[in-house]
A and B are shown apart, each in its own frame.
Chain A
């Protein structure tokens, strides 16, 4: 399974944008890029996913590099509730069986 690399931690000010990077240089053509986040004392929750094109939803935006070897999760206005561990995960397209999580990026949001 393709591996992802993320910074261990990042800090942001409330109401400012946050860009969370992820490197996945060994990504294959059928790997989808997923982002989940885990709030304290909760299970992970879905944030966004994409294959090749940039994606937007109500929670965030996903910017995917043209060569797909990296991606960036963008939170447009961080709130205190966005403080969580963010996981960038690759999953093989046709199989959709399971996720391999890394250690993720712990995002701290300062008021």
Chain B
């Protein structure tokens, strides 16, 4: 399967713990996006990378959240000192960006985080 993969698929943690999620994009894609989705709502943009550079961060991404894409391939999203409000589905997407052409985003299956 050459789609976007995310690990783990489910994570249950206690409030105050740190968690890290991984996203492996489609191999030739240079852009990688993170979204968060709570129950009954559409995904909310968090941040995106072009290659290894983090180009934009939403104000939703508090200082407890950090994302990296060190070699321009896979990405990690870390949440420090988790809170119950962090419980959500975390979605990763990737796309190939080339100038002004259209680039469809391909989404992974998501990581569901539950903070107890």
Residues from chain A with Cβ under 8 Å of B95 in the complex: 96
Q: Is the CB of B107 within 8 A of A45?
A: yes
Given A43-B91, A97-B48, A97-B55, A87 and B42 touching (CB < 8 A)? yes
Looking at B41, B43, B108, the one whose CB has the most chain A CB atoms below 10 A away is B43
Give, as a whole number of angstroms, the nearest-CB distance from B92 to chain A: 8
Partner of B108, one of A43, A93, A96, A97: A43
**In residues 29-49 of chain A, which contact B (Cβ within 8 Å)?**
32, 41-46, 49
A102 to B37, CA, bound (A): 11
**Interface residue tally of chain A, by bracket?**
20 to 34
1/0 per position for A89-110, CB-CB distance to B under 8 A? 0000110111111111000000
Measured as residues with beta carbon below 8 angstroms from the partner, the interface class of chain B is 20 to 34
Taking CB atoms, residues of chain A closer than 8 Å to B110 are 42-43
Q: A55-111: which residues lie under 8 A (CB-CB) from chain B?
A: 85, 87, 93-94, 96-104
B-chain residues with CB within 8 Å of residue A99 when the two chains form the complex: 43, 45, 105
Q: Do B103 and A96 have beta carbons less than 8 Å apart?
A: yes
Binding site for A on B (CB under 8 A): 4, 33, 35, 40-45, 48, 55-56, 91, 93, 95, 97, 100, 102-110
Which 3 A-B pairs have CB atoms at the shortest separation, nearest pair first?
A: A101-B42, A43-B107, A98-B45
